[in-house]
Amino acid sequence: MHEDVIGAPAPPPLPPAAGDAQHWWPAPSPPPAPLVEHRFSFHGDAREYFRIWIVNLALGILTLGIYSAWAKVRTQRYFHGNTRLAGVPFEFLAKPWPILKGRLIAVTLFVAYVLASQFSLAWQFALIGVVLLATPWLLVRGLAFRARYSAWRGLVFRFIPDYGEAYIRYLLLLIPTVLTLGMLYPWVQGQQKRFIVEHHRYGGHGFRFLVSSGRFYIPYLIAWGVMTALIFVFFFAVAALAAASALSGKGNGTPPVWIMMTIVGGFYAGYFVIFVFLQAALLNLVYNHVDIGGRRLRSTLKGHRLLAIYALNTLAVLASAGLLIPWAKIRLARYRAESLSLLAADDLEGLVAERAGEIDATAAEVDGLFDIDIGL
Amino acid sequence: MNAFSAHYFDGITSRMHAVTVSRDGAGSVRVSGDGIERLAPAADLRLSPRLGRTPRTIAFTDGARLLVSDHPLLDDWFPSEDRLLRLVDRLERHAHAVAASIALCVAALVAAVVWGIPWAADRIAGQVPLAVEAKLGEGVLGQLDQYFGFEPSTLAAEREAELRSRFARVVAAAAMADTHRLEFRSAEEIGANALALPGGTIVVTDQLVDVLSDDRAFDAIVAHELGHQRHRHALRQTLRSSFVIVLAAFFAGDVSAASSVVVGVPTFLLQSHYSRGFEEESDRHAFDTLEAMGESPAWFAEAMRGLNEAHEDYGEEVKYLSTHPTGAERIAAAEAAGAAFLERHPEKFREVPGYDACEDEGICEDDEYEDEDEDCDDCAEAEVDCADDGVDAEPGDCPIET
């Protein structure tokens, strides 16, 4: 009658000579240990999560939002607890209070902003400035919070705060990005991802990011190129239509509205497609270059699969007035987990707790006053 | 059954131990198997709250933990003090509670959209000083001039002065402060239109002046725009849209990268719903103002018809983008108000749009002519000539309208 938690079958070995895998592996240690692909999997169920979600929402409404912090813990526990790596689930350990604190601060800022907008523009801009200045700090706090309260196999993750770097990469680099009219943006994106990855630790290993920020230009240049082509086609279609209706001389010289609407709709659909493919390419680029003590993540997201999921999710959410949001979230989480695996030469049993390894001086502060979670 | 299997992690390494958990009579829990032999008081262990079928953990005080699938024994062995989460778990498993939650959420959503957002936005709009709103309006006019092809008006100075004096009379009839400014602009791209900017300025395009058949239709249009000003629609609309976005973002959460679509569509639908309400409110304001001036609200219907025709000439897409969707219902409402006006003021029957002396009163030009001079058979023909091209006929042949 008792069902084992780790009911998943033993992880299947990596198919031999998987081309890419060998290429990724920089100089393996002398006796080349066989690589094992440890899979991620997601076990959440849409009907089960719907009940959790709707009760959370109802209690949030009844308590005027106070309960939302508890709701967030339950939601995160659900998604962590149903995501497994090599058959072992993740855990989310946070308590609601720091989340409530973070939300109260965010709401206070928002109310202050609304009030300030009534009294003077100067105050409004001052508040925008404060939020802008605080963003890198908040980002670091949020990452540290999430890492500290995420665990796998009884060991928690760590995020080593580095505020100076955060300010450089999230605020200072905005200036050259704007000055170069966005041409620097892919590189800045790479720098930001590197910051996030390389300040994470787990199991006695710092994460490493094995790709240069220049590589981020490839997906962006492709996306920009396709976008330019799309804009060209769009204007060509409009011009052709205008010419055709002018030549036919029928009516009053303007094409029917439905054709115009179709063209505009097609343009937005094209934009959406490019956006989703770009997102898939970026996620793959980041995950495929994360190294955790010689172990590598492997992400095989496909743009067209992601597009199908997003498109159906969007339609379902709109058509159900939001009631299918849980279903949409579960579908997305399942696909993302199924597309991810960890390539390792070991059985993942020999990782050690962070505190048993290097102890960072800043470790003590995380339980302090600023142990808040940001991100509404 | 007094034992269950679990997986044990010591909190120091990632090593997983398959163990058996059992309880002895004295309230201690024994963990044994796979090289682990551990005894701990049950009271020191913390069981994670129940959550669907999600695996649960039992935490030791030193950071070690047991991973177990959900099991009825667990809550007996490790009773939780957290009554809130026990209650939530029961609600989630109870069909009626779930149904009640759905009803509550849908009702809250509808209430927020129908009453909550308009109420909150209007309360805030009431707090915004007029000076701030005027600043906003200046910016808008500047943008229109810069990006929407607004050119200085080409109306003749006398014509402009005439319309300005009419505007002043409309403002006075509406009993509104004379801080409202009227701006004329030539806007080929936008065509016949009038706009109420935040802060009290009303912009009328030359193209609109050209299409209106009668100056009383101009009164009707500016009375409508003044309605937007009196009720501060521009500001309220802006605030409502921002609230809709906040609400939609709250509900949609992090569904997908498509959330911009998920947020955008309801925002668009609600905005057009809200703006329809504002148009109706301004229409009523126009009817009341016209009535106060002793003019028939039917002039508003006349103005709308003129706008409709003008926009058909301009092409359909302009009509789509127009800020004043000209619905048949709005014309019908103006006609109805005009009929009611006529009932109260029957003496004004000559001053309504579509008044035709011949049809309404039997004072037809032909008859009039025949009454005066029965012999003149050709005169009717001459009149037709005059109407058709007016060139062939001698000026004297034409009957002069009185």
A81 touches chain B (CB under 8 A): yes
DSSP B323: S
Q: Tell me if the pTM is above 0.80.
A: no
Q: Do the chains contact at A349 and B251, CB–CB below 8 Å?
A: no
Residue B10, Cβ density class (10 Å: 0-12 exposed, 13-18 middle, ≥19 buried): buried
Q: Do the chains contact at A154 and B10, CB–CB below 8 Å?
A: yes
pLDDT at B107: 93
Range with top average pLDDT, A360-364, B292-296, B313-317: B292-296
Q: Distance (Å) from the C-alpha of residue A324 to the closest C-alpha of chain B?
A: 10
pLDDT value at A3 more than 80: no
Radius of gyration of chain B (CA): 37
3-state SS, B349-396, equals: HHHCCCCCHHHHHCCCHHHHHHHHCCCCCHHHHHHHHHHHCCCCCCHH
Q: What is the band of A342 on the pLDDT scale with cuts at 50, 70, 90?
A: very high
CB < 8 Å to A313, chain B? 255-256, 258
Sign of the torsion formed by the C-alpha atoms of A69, A72, A78 and A79: negative
CB < 8 Å to A276, chain B? 257
Q: What is the band of B265 on the pLDDT scale with cuts at 50, 70, 90?
A: low
pLDDT value at A54 more than 60: yes
State mean pLDDT over A84-101: 89
End-to-end Cα distance, chain A: 41
* Mean of per-residue pLDDT scores for chain A: 81
- A320 vs B137, which has greater pLDDT? A320
pLDDT at B259: 52
- B243 vs B226, which has greater pLDDT? B226
* Mean of per-residue pLDDT scores for chain B: 78
CB < 8 Å to B315, chain A? 252-254
pLDDT value at B401 more than 50: no
Give the ipTM of the model, two decimals please. 0.78
Q: What is the band of A357 on the pLDDT scale with cuts at 50, 70, 90?
A: very low
CB < 8 Å to B313, chain A? 252
With H, G, I as helix, E, B as strand and everything else as coil, classify residue B209: helix
Q: What is the band of B180 on the pLDDT scale with cuts at 50, 70, 90?
A: confident
CB < 8 Å to A68, chain B? none
Q: What is the band of B326 on the pLDDT scale with cuts at 50, 70, 90?
A: low
State mean pLDDT over B81-105: 90
pLDDT value at A5 more than 70: no
Mutation target to probe the B interface, by most B beta carbons within 10 A, among A49, A50, A54, A123 is A54
pLDDT at B244: 77
> What is the distance between the alpha carbons of residues B393 and A98, in angstroms, rounded to a whole number?
93
Residue reference for tokens 């081309």: A19
- A14 vs A68, which has greater pLDDT? A68
Pick the residue from chain B with its C-alpha nearest to A202.
B14
pLDDT at B396: 44
Of chain A, the percentage scoring pLDDT greater than 70 comes to: 81
pLDDT value at A24 more than 50: no
State mean pLDDT over A261-269: 82
Of chain A, the percentage scoring pLDDT greater than 90 comes to: 44
Least confident of A297-311, B110-124, B169-183, B381-395: B381-395
pLDDT at B250: 64
Pick the residue from chain B with its C-alpha nearest to A62.
B104
Q: Give the helix ranges, DSSP H, for A173-256.
A: 174-179, 185-198, 217-248
State mean pLDDT over B293-306: 84
State mean pLDDT over A135-142: 84
A253 touches chain B (CB under 8 A): yes
Residue reference for tokens 């402060």: B177
Q: Distance (Å) from the C-alpha of residue A367 to the closest C-alpha of chain B?
A: 16
Least confident of A358-367, B204-213, B350-359: A358-367
Mutation target to probe the A interface, by most A beta carbons within 10 A, among B51, B80, B113, B251 is B51
Least confident of A185-189, B164-168, B270-274: B270-274
A-B contacts at Cβ under 8 angstroms = 172
Mutation target to probe the A interface, by most A beta carbons within 10 A, among B261, B313, B319 is B261
pLDDT at A20: 42
CB < 8 Å to A152, chain B? 14
CB half-sphere exposure, B107, CA atoms < 13 A = 9
pLDDT at B132: 76
